[in-house]
Each structure stands twice: as structure tokens, then as C-alpha cells.
Structure 1
Amino acid sequence: MIAPSAMSAVLSRLGAVSALTAAAVAGPAVLPDMAQHAEAVTIRAKALKVAASKKGSPYRYGATGPRSFDCSGLTLYSFKKVGRKLPRTAAAQYNSTRHIHRSDRTRGDLVFFHYGSSIYHVGIYAGHGRIWHSPKPGGRVRLEKIWTRSVWYGRVK
């Protein structure tokens, strides 16, 4: 049997489809965990795709879509479309996610911007140091480079 930590490292390199293949080859003992992991990766990828599909939608304070969004409204909407429930505000979303280290982040994880212990913004990690987000009044949903190191990462359960 393969150690869970080794399997996790393999999964992050293989991707969801390959993970299911690897699980089938490795044997039934790891299949349930592998399938669950592959499903979670797929859900995050789908939520990221939903957010990207809203490119150009205007920012509006308190908006949760489908035509306009604030930052946490975009993340809430994107995950709701793929069957995951998130609270309304960025801080509450942070509290509802599994907190992960920067080195463990993957596409579809949430990126929380903070000042001290206060969270003021959230976006969806798109890879290569970029996020999809609804930035501010007058702005529109867009892909943008993460502009600060004052971020925390969370994985939707």
C-alpha cells in the first residue's frame, strides 16, 4: 500500500483523471480516497471555470451574480454553481475552508487578502500567481497577478 503523503504528492502532479487511473492500478485499498481527491480537484477546476466565465462582469457591493459581483459574491457564486456552499463574506469563507500553505495551493483554491488578522478580499487561484476576482467599485471581474504576500489560502471542503 502507498503511504498517504506519497500518494498526495503523486496526485498533485498527475491531475484528477490520471489520479483515478493511478488509483485503479494501485488497487481498491486506495480507490475511495483517490476518487474523493479527484472529485475535489474537479470541483475546484469547475468553480475556477465558472469564475473565468464571468470575465468583464461589473463589481457591485453586495452582489452575488449572475451579472455583477463583489469579491466574495464571485467566489460564492462560482462554488454554488458546482454544488458547494460557501458563506457570504470573505472572512466567513476563510473560516469555512481548510487552511493550506502557499506551497500546497492549487488552481481553484481561495486566496484571502489580509491586513493583520482582518481579511479584506478574496479571489480564486488560477495558477502562476494569478487570481480571478471582482476587484473594487468601478472594476470588473478579471484575471490578475497576486499583488502582495499578505495572503492566506483556503481549500473549499
Structure 2
Amino acid sequence: MSAPISPTACLAKALSRTGTTAVLTAAALAGSLLAPGMAPPANAAAVAMEALHVAAAKRGSPYQYGATGPYRFDCSGLTLYAFRQAGRRLPRTAAEQYDGTRHIPASSRAPGDLVFFHYGDDVYHVGVYAGDDEIWHAPHTGARVRLEHIWTRSVWYGRVS
């Protein structure tokens, strides 16, 4: 008979095998099974990571102005689609999405946050922050969804709650 494994060791083992998102999802499901009728509050970080994974999975999808997926996207259509798949609703345009998020400083940004490109007070583009100063986005006509380095310092960050 083997010795019991501590909860911390069990969690570390699960994280190394399946990844953080899968473990968080399993924990949420387990919590709702242990307390039926008491759904746990959705973890904003887990939702953001799921949206990031959805956006990344759309790599190579063609840009089309006004498109919201699932096969073609414009910039805000990609973010709208990614967060919808993760269980959150966003407004349609980049500017409306900026107005609908909690604004955060660059020092607090995390993967899954939204990156808003602006000229003065006008937001004109949005992508999903991937870490390391990179975003997943649908850049422009003739391009495809891709991971790209943030090319300007004229950006604001927003967190979907």
C-alpha cells in the first residue's frame, strides 16, 4: 500500500500533466459537484486564458471587415468571438470594448487582457495580450490572424471581468 499524496503534491502533479486551464476547469466542476446548485463564480483569469487559447487557435484565419467568426474575423470580431467562447460577452467594436473593460496599467497586464491601440482618444484596433509584448490579432485586409509584437507605445490595456 502506498503512502497518501498531499493535496499540494497532487495539484502540482496535475498542473504539470494537464496545464493550468484544465486544472482550473476541473476544480470548478468538482466544486459544483460537491455543492450541487452552488456554481462557483467564474475566475476572470481562467476566462482570460481560455479566450487567449481560442484566439490563438484561430491562427491563419483570414481578416474580413465586420466578421465575427468562426472562420473570418476583423480585430474586434476576434476578441468578441474569443471571449464569447470563454463565456463572456463583449460589445462589437474596439472602442466599445475599451469602454466595456476595466482599464489597467501596463505594469498590471497579463495574458488574456485586451490591448487597445489608439490615436489620441480614438481606439482603432484591439488584440488579445499573449505575454512578452505580443498579441493575437486580426490585423488588416489581406492578412490573417497572427501573433505579433506590439509595434507602438500608443496602447491601453483592459481586463474583461
Is this a same-fold pair by TM over 0.5? yes
Displacement, 1:126? Answer: 0.1
Displacement, 1:69? Answer: 0.1
Q: d(CA) in 1 for partners of 2:130 and 2:57?
A: 13
Q: d(CA) in 1 for partners of 2:46 and 2:90?
A: 17
Report the TM-score, using the length of structure 1 for normalisation.
0.77
- The reply to whether residue 44 of structure 1 matches residue 52 of structure 2 is no
Q: d(CA) in 2 for partners of 1:45 and 1:83?
A: 12
Displacement, 1:46? Answer: 0.3
Q: d(CA) in 2 for partners of 1:65 and 1:150?
A: 27
Equivalent in 61, 67, 74 of residue 71 of structure 2: 67
Displacement, 1:113? Answer: 0.1
Superimposed CA distance per residue, residues 36-77 of structure 1 (whole angstroms, 9 cap, x where no aligned partner): 5x8111110000000000000000000000000000000000
Aligned residue type for 2:121: S
- The reply to whether residue 149 of structure 1 matches residue 159 of structure 2 is no
Look up the match of 2:29.
Answer: none
Report the TM-score, using the length of structure 2 for normalisation.
0.75
Q: d(CA) in 1 for partners of 2:84 and 2:45?
A: 15
Look up the match of 2:118.
Answer: 114
- Aligned residues with identical type, % of pairs: 65
Equivalent in 51, 57, 63 of residue 53 of structure 1: 57
Displacement, 1:103? Answer: 0.2
Corresponding pairs, count: 127
Q: d(CA) in 2 for partners of 1:91 and 1:39?
A: 25
Aligned-residue CA RMSD in angstroms? 1.8
Displacement, 1:142? Answer: 0.2
Structure showing greater radius of gyration is: 2
Q: d(CA) in 2 for partners of 1:39 and 1:93?
A: 20
